[in-house]
Amino acid sequence: MPTIRFDGERIECEDGRNLLRALPRGALSSATPVSLCGNGVCGMCAVTVEGETNELTEAERNRLSEPCEDSPCEGGDGNGDGDETDVDRSRRRLACQTEVHGDLEVTMDE
């Protein structure tokens, strides 16, 4: 059974579970469950993930590649110089589109 490490907590969940649903209710910042669209459009559930997950969905690719000033989905400087911001950007996911397939370390985007 995979374990998710998030905000000092260890959360066990079944393999294949949706990451957003596996996290404690209201865990993702000021975004309330009502404001999270759950379909990869709003970007309010953007997190940085290390571990085993499904491949990026088309919705994630579209949302994470767009600038988004009003939500936390934009990350990394994207200049390809290999600094920490580029590495973090490669691990960016939308929790609503992410399936847990092994142990994960999840951090909130700032």
Predicted local distance difference test score (pLDDT) of residue 44: 85
Spell out the residues 6+ positions from residue 48 whose beta carbon is closer than 8 angstroms to its own: 75, 88, 91, 92, 93, 106, 107, 109
Predicted local distance difference test score (pLDDT) of residue 87: 46
| Domains by residue range for the chain, with CATH | 3-108 (3.10.20.30)
Instruction: Give just the sign of the alpha carbon dihedral 59, 65, 68, 73.
Output: positive
The amino acid at 6: F
Cα–Cα distance between 53 and 25 in angstroms, integer?
Answer: 20
Q: Is the pLDDT of residue 13 over 90?
A: yes
Q: Is the pLDDT of residue 45 over 80?
A: yes
pLDDT single digits (tens) 62-97? 888 876 554 445 444 444 454 555 546 679 999 999
